[in-house]
Amino acid sequence: MPNRTKLIAGNWKMNNDVAAAAKLADELAEALPEVPEGVEVLVCPPTIDITTVHARMQAAPIALGAQNVYWEAKGAYTGESSCDMLKSAGCTYCIIGHSERRGYFHETDEDMNKKAKALVAAGIVPVFCCGEPEEVREAGTYVDFVCNQVKAGLEGLEIKCPKQLVVAYEPIWAIGTGKTATAEDAQEVCGAIRETLKEMFGEELADGIRVLYGGSAKPGNIAELVAKPDVDGALVGGASLKAADFASMVVKAGE
């Protein structure tokens, strides 16, 4: 199995005003003055907080990402942020395709594809999210559903290095519900995603692309999740808002 660097990524979602973001960033920088070997840490605050968090964590070994991006370089797109804007604020990653963006804001596979291509062209790593709702899980067609999202969202993407892309599997029925896919459930779908990536990008590249699990990941289950051969870390929601919990997950991922 390739020796992929684990990635523990925090998605703060729409939480924390500027003062609260500064406080959490300070707490994280204090809790994680260094990270275990073989682990990378990422936080993705709301757009309004990015520059504040960047300033507070520059000395910490924590990467910075955004939660959304628009694919055009500039123009009359009120409320949006371009890749270059995110880069100038210190972002090296960006979440795209989160189920909340797909569900609440009706973003499509085509939108994800445009965003992924714009990010890679700008030198920002897309954290491409995919995952099934409960009815698809119960119907037993979830593997095909998720792999088709990957194929549609990443079609035609040109990468030369596996570090240019991260995929995050987030079963919608396990986000914020307290329900968690078992480590075996996560491995089943993450393994299928890796096979799809091999079809798209070739075995060598796909073997190095990190595939994360997202969906009620927390200190109590992170070690079991990352022990699976195709689960390379987690996209963490609620637990990323508590510095002690998030730092604990980083430590456990490295054990």
Nearest to 57 by CA among 37, 41, 38: 41
Q: Which two tokens stand for residue 233?
A: 């870390």
Q: Which of 40, 98, 100, 132 is catalytic?
A: 98
Decide if 170 is catalytic.
yes
Could you give the residue ranges of the DSSP H alpha helices within 126-214? 134-139, 142-154, 183-201, 203-208
**With contact defined as beta carbons under 8 Å apart, do 210 and 166 qualify?**
yes
CA distance 66 to 54: 11
**With contact defined as beta carbons under 8 Å apart, do 114 and 88 qualify?**
no
Three-state DSSP at 227 gives coil
Q: Which two tokens stand for residue 14?
A: 């729409």
Decide if 195 is catalytic.
no
Three-state DSSP at 29 gives helix
Q: Which of 54, 110, 170, 203 is catalytic?
A: 170
Q: Which residues, other chains included, contact 138 with Cβ-Cβ below 8 Å and sequence gap of 6+?
A: none
User: How big is the chain, counted in residues?
Assistant: 255
Strand partners, 39: 6
Three-state DSSP at 127 gives strand
Q: What is the CA radius of gyration of the chain?
A: 17
Task: Return the active site residues.
Answer: 98, 170
